[in-house]
Amino acid sequence: MISHLGRDPLRAVAYLLTGVLVGLPLCLGLTVLAVTGVALAPVLVGLPLLALLALAGVPVGILERWRGRLLAPGPPWANPHCTPAEPGLAAWARLRLTEPATWRELGHAALLALVLWPLDLLALTAAVAVPCVLLGAPLQLALSGDDTRIVKLWLIDGYPQAALCTAAGAVLLLALTWPLSRYARARAALTRLLLEPRAAEQRLAEVTRSRARLVAAFEAERRRIERDLHDGAQQRLVALSMRLGLLRLDAPPELAARLDDAHREAGRVLDELRELIHGIHPRVLADYGLADALTDAADRSAVPVEVTAELPRLPEAVESAAYFAAREALANVGRHSGARRAWIEGRYGDGWLAMEVRDDGTGGADPARGTGLAGLADRLAVLDGTLTVTSPAGGPTVLRLEIPCLPA
């Protein structure tokens, strides 16, 4: 990483000097934020200051990744942060406050403010400042006229002594170049260890991004199939049904019966196609949102269902996952539970969609015994959601899902 250090100690000096210039004001700033935030927290004024303190490591991390290039020019250090899915400062702050990298950067900022920059200053003083003062002993003696005290320790009153100080300064400067470079290398390695993303975090971030892309692609393909069936095959069946109906009116009696059978069959096929389209991506979900779609699903249920849901419009993937979870739950209620009634409750708050499906059936539902509930759990996991099923013998069965999301 820092192969040029042995040949170019000036890079090490520049790196450590900028560390001092960053660390001192950072120490003052963090102290002021912490003290003021804690003091004003009881009256709530300090809470924004404490939030700002929590995010203080982010700009310091950016600066530290830039400073690392002072030692050896090359590609910048990897950025451990993800890009917010939503625009705006609020979305950025929410994402940053939930990332492990943010808290590592805050820990590094505190370490830099309290420990690292004093060590940098001490190393520069011992390896650069003191030898340079010794090198300038003749100049200091000439400026003082009679005698001078070098480094506030040694009193010299003649040029032979000044020459000895100069020689000692040159020897010290050359001798301490290698230790200073090694210290700068260790210092940069520690910073990089704290700030760069772990390999596991990078893989997890990429998996998360790829899952989001897969969800978006899946929903887009679902809508495309629904649109093609609605605008293509369904319209042709409607036209065919109308033509059969018109032909039946003018056909002779022996042909009218057959046309009537064909017309009824076309109607049944059209109804099945409409149900298929509704199952792929119901129009009510796309046009009116999850709350109305849940009411529509309740109307189609085999058992009476009471729906309580006051929900904002949410991202399409979230609405779709929650809707089909409710559909699967209601299908299980109708097939297996022996329930007489069911209830759906949905609410949104604090960045979470929570939905609950309950019935008064016999219970005993086990996700491990079938693929329906397990598939729902997998689909929700793609959105970082969770699915819990409580179904003791004798009932009732309660299916609860939670999905983190922002209003659309």
**Cα 222 to Cα 220: distance, rounded to the nearest angstrom:** 5
Q: Is the peptide bond before 396 cis (omega within 30 degrees of 0)?
A: yes
Note whether 53 and 34 are within 8 A (CB).
Answer: yes
Residue 154: which domain range?
9-197
Query: Which DSSP helix (H) or strand (E) runs through 403?
Result: strand 398-404
What pLDDT was estimated at residue 110? 93
Q: Identify each DSSP E strand in 335-397 by its residue range.
A: 342-349, 352-359, 386-390
Tell me phi and psi for residue 2, to 5 degrees: -125, 55
Question: In this predicted structure, what is the pLDDT of residue 6?
Answer: 44
Does residue 56 share a domain with residue 169? yes
pLDDT at 17: 92
Q: For residue 271, what are the CA distances in angstroms to 4, 38, 266, 406?
A: 75, 65, 9, 36
Its sign, for the CA torsion 7, 11, 15, 20, is positive
Residues 274, 324 share a domain? no
Cα distances (Å, whole numbers) of residue 255 to 244, 248, 249, 265: 11, 8, 10, 16
Do 143 and 30 belong to one domain?
yes
- Give me the pLDDT at residue 2, please: 40
What are 403's strand-pairing partners?
Answer: 353
Domain-embedded: residue 89: yes
Across 69-223, the runs of DSSP E, i.e. the strands, are 148-150, 154-156
Q: Residue 266 is which amino acid?
A: A
What is the tally of structural domains in the chain? Answer: 3
Please state, in angstroms and rounded to a whole number, the distance separating the CA atoms of residues 374 and 328.
Answer: 11
Same-domain status, 161 and 80: yes
pTM: 0.52
Are residues 320 and 227 part of one domain?
A: no
Same domain for 49 and 176? yes
Closest Cα to residue 1, out of 78, 66, 69, 80?
A: 69
Name the domain boundary from 173, 197, 221.
197
First to last CA, the chain: 45
Sign of CA dihedral 31, 34, 39, 43: positive
The one-digit pLDDT tens for each residue of the chain (408 residues) are 344 444 578 888 889 999 999 999 999 999 998 999 888 888 887 888 888 888 898 899 989 888 888 876 666 677 787 777 666 788 888 888 888 888 989 999 999 999 999 999 999 988 888 888 777 767 776 777 666 666 666 666 667 776 777 787 788 888 888 888 899 989 988 888 888 766 555 565 556 665 666 666 666 666 676 666 666 666 777 777 777 777 777 777 777 777 777 777 777 776 666 666 555 667 778 788 899 989 988 888 888 999 998 899 998 888 888 888 888 888 888 887 788 899 999 999 888 999 999 998 887 776 666 546 676 777 787 788 888 888 888 778 888 999 988 887
Specify if 1 maps to a domain: no
249 residue type, one letter: L
Domain boundary among 197, 223, 257: 197
What single-letter DSSP state applies at residue 347? E
Whether residue 389 lies inside any domain: the answer is yes
Query: Which residue type, as a one-letter code, is found at position 327?
Result: R
pLDDT of residue 338: 80
- Please report whether residue 4 resides in a domain: no
Domain boundary among 148, 181, 197: 197
Residue length of the chain? 408
Rounded distance, CA 343 to CA 361, Å? 12
Q: Are residues 67 and 208 in the same domain?
A: no
The answer to whether residues 60 and 193 belong to one domain is yes
For residue 220, which phi and psi values (nearest 5 degrees)? -65, -40
Other beta carbons within 10 Å of 17: 15
φ/ψ bin of 384: left (φ > 0), alpha (ψ from -120 to 50), beta (otherwise) = left
Output phi, psi for 213, to 5 deg: -65, -40
Q: What are residue 346's DSSP bridge partners?
A: 309, 355
Looking at the fold, whether 191 and 205 belong to one and the same domain comes out as no
Measure the CA–CA gap between 88 and 153, rounded to whole angstroms: 58
Say if residues 211 and 382 touch (Cβ distance below 8 Å). Answer: yes
Flag whether 62 is in a domain.
yes
DSSP secondary-structure letter at 333? I
Token representation of residue 228 = 């093609």
Residue 248 lies in a domain: yes
Whether residue 46 is found in the same domain as residue 127: yes
Sign, CA torsion 118/121/127/130 = negative
Domain check: are 113 and 169 in the same one?
yes
User: Does residue 3 fall inside a structural domain?
Assistant: no
What is the CATH classification number for the domain harbouring 304? 3.30.565.10
DSSP 250: H
Contact 368, 316 (CB under 8 A): no
Identify whether the C-beta of residue 390 lies closer than 8 Å to the C-beta of residue 398.
Answer: yes
